[in-house]
Structure 1
Amino acid sequence: MSRGHTRVQKAYEQLRAERVLEGESVSTVLGSPWRLQDALLVKDHVGLIHLMTRLPEDRERFDVPLGRLLRAAWIATNEDGGRRDWLDVVCTDARLLRTFLSLIGEMLDRSDESGRPSIDELAEVLESWRAALARERTAMDRNRLVGLFGELTVLERLAARDPQAALSSWKGRQGAIHDFSRTNALEVKTLVGDGSPAVTIHGEHQLDPPSGGALHLVAFRIADSAEGESLEELTARIAEHGVPYEDVLRTLGDDVPGIEDRQRRFAIEEIRLHEVTDDFPGLRSSRLSPETLRGVSNISYQLSLDACPGQLDPDQLEAVLENL
């Protein structure tokens, strides 16, 4: 029998290729040969990956406090004329997926060796992984705040010109391809640390300019700094330009930072500005055939800006915003 990490990776690759209709899901079994239905890997219609483990018939539900990145819920199903309870754990952030799959692999290995139900081993594995998940959550939360600081920096500069146009051009929070777009588009990225400037590109459309327009990419290198500016102060200045605070919160939706996070101070140490022209590297749907992209989802990769042509003087950012 193959190891748990191998089984879960094969199951994930199988689900990745599946197309899921809205409101439906696809699944594959993960359990041991003598308990195949003990655990399932599931992909829902929005692409989120779930682990479902079955509760033995003589057992009662229990609390599973996981937090924001791994979410747990109990689900009841009808099987053979009776009710069965399942624990559904879903990975809500694609950046945590590799960690989530490793956690599942360890659960399967332990269940294979002990003969205990997967759900029992899951409870213990989650406890042992809690510290690692907390560290990863802290790093990811900081990255989320830094990314938000970059977007609000651009929103503030646009609001100083035209507050209504600024808010209507802020598209990324609505699931659009680019962070800011009108006739032209601007993609906002953030850099942390002192390493080579590399940004994460999400999806096969992010480097495609809008139809009939131009695309620019701006990357802010952001650092924690007591001399910097807080998200609270930045949002207040946006409001002074005429974009109401409640409109910013409404646009952020579930991504609104907490009170402490809004007080963290950041400073911009470097600005990299590029025009995304035909010779700009990266994956693009306009360069790939539909057959190439069939069954492909959740594309994410690192792009080194040092390898990208079309670098502009950072002072030209104002002109880019003016012509957005």
Structure 2
Amino acid sequence: MTGTSRTSFEAEWQRLLAAPPSSDTRLRVHELPRETSWGHVSLAVDQDGSRHLLVPILSSTRVRSGLDGPGLVLRKRVLEDERSHTTYVALSCGRPELSYLFDDLCADVVVELEELGHQPMKAVYQVVDRWRSLFDRPAGVLSDEAASGLYGELLVLRRLLRDDASAHRCWAGPHGARHDFVLAGVAVEAKTTSHVEGRVIRIHGLDQLEPPENAQLLLAVFRLASASTANAVTLRELAEEVVTLSDDEPAVHTLLSAAGYVIGAVEGNDARAWTVSDERWYAVDDTFPRLTRAGLTAAGVPETVVDVDYSVDLTAGVPAALPQTDVAHLLSSGAPTNHD
């Protein structure tokens, strides 16, 4: 992608949707100030209100097969009027709830065409390959544990992105990594608890609180209270803030999708809301209460012990939480590690 900033086309889409169709078969078309070697790129809306991006191509061009829904649809299309006969590659979205993502995708195509106007299919394919997983992934309702866990990870990610717009590259949780965030010299595991009193967290496996080799492990614990008050922040609001803070919005959308969440796809996920009543960070070292493979081996427990989940109660204040100044220093000293 070039350094050119992307522009939203939502105003243009709305004007097209408001315009009365001239027939059941004609598209309402808005020509954009971007050209390929074969004509102007256009936005279009059909009689069903579906949105299309029309990119002019050479009439003999072959269009990749296999991209025919349920999310993105890519087809060759010929449009005629009294003055012209133009061949397009038409990119469409089959999921209306993801129109906002399709708008971003269209904007990315237009940016790519600034340098690849003579190779429009290459521009379209490059963008589609970055985005298609978001449109094809089936949307489901997150469990309470998954939703609150994702919320905790996004709280950490927001903090990192405020200092470094590329920090999404260290978010490893959606890829199934041992720790949620992996930076140079430090890893972070995020946990949430809904206990009104006490500070009890659930640990999954013997590796989760095992620091990486030659790195420090931090544990971020957030106490969340479900709420519908003005102070509560929904999962969607937090996710959108994270996307905005990042310097690569498609990459963050892809990470969210890998974590099981697509903004706007399921209202029940979007509307989940919490307030953060407490936030504490801990250094996971030899004094921290935990179960690890090395610890069990030293205690004579056979290595055949598997699928270990357990709880850690941090209510008593032992070990003590790190001062926020120490947390800030540790996080700022680590560079993001790419997990794309």
Query: After superposition, where does 1:205-220 map in structure 2 within 5 Å?
Result: 205-220=207-222
Question: CA shift at 1:152, angstroms?
Answer: 0.5
The Cα offsets for residues 127-169 of structure 1, whole Å up to 9 and x where unpaired, read as: xxxxxxxxxx99x8222211111100111111122222x1221
Which amino acid letter does the alignment assign opposite residue 202 of structure 1?
A: H
Name the residue aligned to 1:260. 268
Distance 2:160 2:302 in 1: 35
Distance 2:259 2:250 in 1: 13
Question: CA shift at 1:174, angstroms?
Answer: 1.3
Runs of 4+ with deviation above 3 angstroms: 243-246, 290-293, 314-317
The Cα offsets for residues 262-300 of structure 1, whole Å up to 9 and x where unpaired, read as: 122211100122111211111112223297353322110
Taking only the aligned residue pairs, the percentage that are identical comes to 29
Name the residue aligned to 1:311. 321
Name the residue aligned to 2:176. 175
User: SS of the counterpart of 2:282?
Assistant: strand
Which amino acid letter does the alignment assign opposite residue 250 of structure 2?
A: E
Count of equivalent residues: 186
Contact 2:189-2:220 within 8 A present in 1 as well = yes
Contact 1:277-1:310 within 8 A present in 2 as well = no
The structure with the larger Rg is 2
Tell me the TM-score normalized by structure 2: 0.50
Which of residues 285, 290, 295 in structure 2 aligns to 1:287? 295
> What are the ranges of 5 or more consecutive residues in structure 1 without an aligned counterpart?
1-136
Name the residue aligned to 1:233. 237
> What are the ranges of 5 or more consecutive residues in structure 2 without an aligned counterpart?
1-139, 335-340
User: SS of the counterpart of 1:294?
Assistant: coil
Which amino acid letter does the alignment assign opposite residue 294 of structure 1?
A: E
Distance 1:207 1:239 in 2: 28
Distance 2:212 2:320 in 1: 18
Contact 1:271-1:314 within 8 A present in 2 as well = no
In 2 relative to 1, CA 174–297 (structure 1 residues): closer, same or farther, beyond 3 Å? Answer: same
Tell me the TM-score normalized by structure 1: 0.52
Superposition RMSD in Å:
2.5
Question: CA shift at 1:256, angstroms?
Answer: 1.1
Query: After superposition, where does 1:111-130 map in structure 2 within 5 Å?
Result: none
Name the residue aligned to 2:250. 246
Higher helix share: 1
Name the residue aligned to 1:323. 333
The Cα offsets for residues 176-224 of structure 1, whole Å up to 9 and x where unpaired, read as: 1111112211111001031310101111111111111111111000112
